[in-house]
Structure 1
Amino acid sequence: MQQRLNPTRSPLALGVLCGLTAVLGGIILAFGGPLAGLAVLLAGIAAIIVLRDIEIGFWSVIGVVCLLPFATLPFDIGLTPTFLDLALGAVIGVWVLALVTGRQRTIITAPITLPLVAFIVVAIFAFIFGLNNGPLTPTLIRKFAEIILSVSFVLVIVDYCSDWQRLERLVQVLLLAGATASAIAIVFWLLPDDLTNAILNALTRIGYPGGWVIRYIEENPALAERAIGTSIDPNVLGGLLLMIGSLAGPQVVAKRPLFPRWLTYLIVTLIFVALILTFSRGAMLGLAAGLGFVALIRYRRLI
């Protein structure tokens, strides 16, 4: 009986699995369109990959943050989780599963671990005891789950980044994702406004806002356009690039950069150009402050 239900050995089970997949795909295509079907397909593939290697899960989180930060499931399941929620949940789930099954027997901690665990416990109890004070809506559940997932993800990062090799790989992925987001923002800025707006409106199937989304200085179309990429808001894109730029900038003068010199220069150039095109003064000041802090830590004689 067990062999009959194994899709890798039983033609019947394999046929049933393929049939159910086809029905589900047809429903998604009918109600969500081709983009929704593609999004679900990619999400399914990503979930399988994450279950095999947690580091790929970290890469997916970084990719979603940089490239599709506001994407949500293209259909309603009572809740409407974002791609980021799903990516965070997958990574944390794989980590917990490794602990439960005994594949991982130790947990690496840091001074921040205990306060974070205390915060999670207090938040959960506060949420439970506060249910009598108001209605339990899907939005409230999703927002609370996002807080718990975000805080818990820090614990997973601390545990996983236990050696320099892992940390360097994650930073490499972060820099590449930031450079890709910057390149997209620059291309969108160079394209005609109508074409860029049409491309971004295609993302409404996965939760992005529709209508006219192009942004200008002082919201005046007569002035210069501001780069937004897939972050929709220039200040959001600027905040992302200032953090990644603070990591990328020191690579230019590093004795042993994470990438070949030519690729390092390309990454830094893309990030800095895209940041300038956002015309976000706060982000530019933040990047200057971040690079200044790194310089003071590295060259203490400047103090």
Structure 2
Amino acid sequence: MASPAVIRCYAFTFALSVFLLITPSISIYCDEDDCYDLLGVSQNANTSEIKKSYYKLSLKYHPDKNPDPESKKLFVKVANAYEILKDDETRAQYDYAIEHPEEVFYNTARYYKAYYGHKTDPRAVLVGLLLILSGFQYVNQWTRYNQALEMVKKTPAYKNKLRALELERSGGVSNKKKNNKMDKKVHEDLSKELDLQINGAEKPSVWGLIGVRLVLLPYTLSKLLLWHGCWFWRYKVKKAPYSWEDASYLTKQSLGAPADAWRNTDDATKDDLVQRQLWVKSNMESYVSEMRRESKRRR
């Protein structure tokens, strides 16, 4: 059995822990003071009485009215107590903290939510977050694009295109400077004329940023709904034949071809694929079988 001294030690430790936990849940409002006592009113005082007492004390302790150095501290405490008690919500939270001091974490969370949470406009937070994300996205896209551009510039195909462009600009007379190496300034000028299409690392555009897309989301959704409505009316209700652009879109979707790959496909191949009407299941199955047979013949 524990000795009386050990029991007293445990009791003191427990009491101290309870004091350290419970006290902050009340003191966070008016420090170590009671908000009602600071204003000189009872806990049952109405809003009018609280307001009247505050105006009276604020005149008494205002630094311009009272030269006493302690008056400034009292003035700040009185103003803080009034801010808490003048609002029905924060006053109810304070009264709850007085009646339930054991709920330290709950009371503390409610205090900080009331005094700090509402001061930050969620719309400002959302806009700031979107700006930060869009900034990171834009920098990342430019980094990827520049890295891909440097890699492409080291390939023989790019150097050949650059050389051909140089010959075209110079009228077929090649630059002989420095072992036929192109002058740096000429190299940069000609590089700007080459329109490089790099798959997977397209030149960044502000229209692709997440912030811009979110702002334009209502417009995008409206446009999408209008497009689907027109499609349904034209091809489902009126049974009109597909235009070449719409048939091309259906063909691309049926093949599962990426937008870049389809855009770089030559017109003759596109026409052939569109005429096959691959969006029809039977036609697609026939096309797949034909491709398989052709692949086996090549082997």
Q: TM-score range by the shorter chain?
A: under 0.3
TM, length-normalised to structure 2:
0.21
TM, length-normalised to structure 1:
0.21
